[in-house]
Amino acid sequence: MMSLNYQLALIIMSPVILFMVLSVVFGKKMEEIQKRFLETNADVYSFLKENLTIIPLINVFNLEKWSQKRVNNQMDEYYNTSLTYTRTSSLNSSLSSLIMVVPVVLLIGFGGYMVIYGSLSLGTFTAFLSYTSIFFTPISQLSGIWTSYKSALPAFDRIHEILDLEEKESRTQSLVINEGTIELEDVWFSYHQRKVFNGFHATFTRGLNYIVGDNGKGKSTILKLI
């Protein structure tokens, strides 16, 4: 294009600056949003893993509403972050596609003017049409690759946090309780209006203690209450 007509070539190549600006702006935005998304995603999985394993304790302490509220808050944050990420990514793709039209518009505007007034041949104008597509397609792809690279950086940072951890010396000494007692006095408890304990008394002392009984009599519930 430069050898055919350097003035028209410079005009058509000018949208490269728009691709550079688009890559820098959206690359930074996608990096920030992706970081929030990964953190939110990790929080949701950690929360679900924690709460699904302690459902009996949630029932014991009547924390269903509190747990449900935390679930709703976590999922709302996850939904909003996902929506922001998708919206920003779609806007970036749309603007990138829109910028691809700018060189063609410039070529038709300036090149057509030059053809009409005889300073550019029709054959050269046709060649510019082909060269414009060949030139800007990889530019657009590079812009997309840069945005994807910036989006991937937060994931690499999270991996590096784990890989950079220093191994600490683990303790080998066991926890030993030398003395003390656990006393349950006049304990009442029920699961959804079904009474399990009704004025229950028990004392656990140091040594070997036994809790025996049929299924559903409250053995596990005693331990969870303790």
Tens digits of residue pLDDT in 40-75: 888 888 888 888 888 888 887 888 888 889 889 888
- pLDDT tens digit sequence for 130-171: 888 888 888 888 888 888 888 888 888 888 888 887 877 766
Mean pLDDT of the chain: 85
Packed helices 122-163 and 16-53: angle between N→C axes, nearest 10 degrees: 30
Q: What CA dihedral angle connects 212, 215, 221 and 223, to 10 degrees?
A: 40
Confirm if 123 and 5 have CB atoms less than 8 A apart.
no
pLDDT digits 0-9 by tens, 171-183? 677 766 677 888 8
Distance from C-alpha of 159 to C-alpha of 13, rounded to nearest angstrom: 40
CB-CB contact of 201 with 185 (8 Å): yes
Q: How confident is the model at residue 185 (pLDDT cuts 50, 70, 90)?
A: very high
- Helices 6-13 and 64-106, axial angle in degrees (round to 10): 170
In this prediction the pTM is: 0.60
User: What was the pLDDT predicted at 175?
Assistant: 61
Q: Return the pLDDT at 177.
A: 64
Tell me the β-bridge partners of 202: 184
Which class is 6-163 in CATH?
mainly alpha
Percent of the chain clearing pLDDT 90 (strictly above): 3
Strand partners, 183: 203
Q: Give residue limits of the domains in the chain.
A: 6-163, 182-225
Please check the confidence at residue 197 and state whether its pLDDT lies above 80. yes
How far, in Å, CA of 203 to CA of 206, rounded?
10
pLDDT, residue 201, reads 92
**Which of 40, 26, 34, 22 shows the shortest CA–CA distance to 153?**
34
**What pLDDT, on the 0 to 100 scale, is given for residue 141?**
85
DSSP 23-87: HHHHHHHHHHHHHHHHHHHHHHHHHHHHHHHTHHHHHHTT-HHHHHHHHHHHHHHHHHHHHHHHH
Token digits of residue 16: 């490269």
Reported as a single tens digit per residue, the pLDDT across 87-145 is 988 888 888 888 888 888 888 888 888 888 888 888 888 888 888 888 888 888 888 88
Give me the pLDDT at residue 186, please: 92
pLDDT value, residue 26: 86
